[in-house]
Amino acid sequence: MDLMKEKKFGYGCMRLPLLNKEDQTSFDYDLINKLFDTYLEKGFTYFDTAYTYHGYHGEEAVRKALIERHPRDSFQLATKLPLRDFKDNEDMKRIFDEQLTNCGVDFFDYYLLHNMGSNVYQKCCKYDAFDFVVKKKTEGKIKVVGMSFHDTPELLEEILSEHGNGLDFIQLQINYIDWEQPNVQSRRCLEIANKYNKPVIVMEPCKGGTLVNIPKEAEKLMKDYNPTVSTASWALRFAASQKGVFRVLSGMNSMEQVEDNTSFMADFIPLNEEENAIIRNVAKIINLNTAVQCTACEYCTHECPKNIAIPKYFALYNSIMRTTGSFSSQMVYYNNIAINHGKASECIGCKQCERACPQHLPITTYLKDVVEKFEKNSIIPTRK
């Protein structure tokens, strides 16, 4: 299958509409059914879910709204092996079989190793997770194998050089704010995927909705150029325009969003040079609305006795301070970074970092804000 010829636009099912925002399983099926039906009517077919979404009930919701209501050959289903959850080889098999039941299918069109990063990589090597998915593909239980990735380009390169043969594609977080952010490094991760000829699916092109509600000054730049298109369209087209990207996911939870997104993704046109220049200016404005004016120079980290990833944590903190909705993806990054670095709470207040910072930032004070956001509000999902 030539993935680059696939339709460019997929339906992300991580944040489906709910009747009660406090209850992740209170699915608004009337609305979800209508959204899925309209997306299919527009000629798109790809649905992306995962074992862990919606408190481990996301696959069940997709079964009810999609799989039980539409012929199996009218859509493509993607789900993911939860790398944080499985205990050993037997457990991988148990989870995979449970997923087939959850979804009510006998094969997955796309299946991904979910949220690969330094915290789970060694476990995946120890229990042959890479071989496991390839074996399932050989058995006909999976058509296309991939991996969603939230870590450094260096780790991505290591994984692709050692285990890349079995992977048909990579799923990366790519958007115009994270393009050069030190904590995500979208551009460099994409370059590694391109280097290994792995087609890419983009997740979080609107950064969890952050790039839908942008500062007025930034929005004006977009509206002056084209008053008829949405801010979301700029973000999705930016992601879809990048080399090697064959699909962009959008987690739509209103009919307005489905109508809007499908309109410009139906006959997708890459951004032109003028539009790219506007995006760069918009990114600058968004970054000016930034809580911590850290330039990520890393001068502060060289002598930190606790090896605290100061600029990476500040980038994540800035990201959530701009975000009005869920910050689960930033929380995932925080936990991944903290595997190999000191947490913000481990700071001993020696202030070596502040003496080194060319921006004269009160780093130790900001680290306390980081602790408040990331260590006292953990929202990593747990099984119900």
Please, are residues 182 and 312 in contact by the beta-carbon 8 Å criterion?
yes
> Among 172, 214, 235, 310, which residue sits at the site for ligand SF4 (rule: CB under 6 A)?
310
Residue from 62, 338, 347, 370 touching ligand SF4 (CB under 6 A): that is: 347
In the bound state with ligand SF4, the residue whose beta carbon lies nearer, of 288 and 348, is 348
Residue 50 or 294 having the CB closest to ligand SF4? 294
- Can you tell me the distance from the alpha carbon of 95 to that of 51, in angstroms, rounded to the nearest whole number? 8
Q: Does 361 bind ligand SF4 (CB under 6 A)?
A: yes
Closest distance to ligand SF4 from the beta carbon of 129 (Å): 35
Stretch that binds ligand SF4, among 119-127, 222-230, 297-305, 324-332 (CB under 6 A): 297-305
What is the signed CA dihedral for 348, 350, 355, 357, rounded to 10 degrees? Answer: -10
- How many Å apart are CA 309 and CA 338, to the nearest integer? 8
Stretch near ligand SF4 under the rule CB under 6 A, chosen from 87-95, 245-253, 327-335, 354-362:
354-362
Counting every residue written for the chain, the total comes to 384
Interaction of residue 294 with ligand SF4, rule CB under 6 A = yes
- Cα angle at 156 between 151 and 157, to 5 degrees? 145
CB nearer to ligand SF4: pick between 110 and 317: 317
Identify the residue among 304, 337, 338, 370 touching ligand SF4 (CB under 6 A). 304
User: Judged by CB, which is closer to ligand SF4: 239, or 338?
Assistant: 338
Q: Under the criterion CB under 6 A, does residue 337 sit at the interface with ligand SF4?
A: no
**Burial code of 29-67, b = ≥16 C-beta within 10 A, e = fewer?**
eebbeebbeebbeeebbbbbbbbbbbebbbbbbbbebbb
Which strand (E) or helix (H) includes residue 310? helix 310-322
Angstrom CA distances, 40 to 9, 35, 74, stand at: 11, 9, 8
Q: Give the binding site for ligand SF4 (CB under 6 A).
A: 294-300, 304-306, 308, 310-311, 347-353, 356-357, 359, 361, 363-364
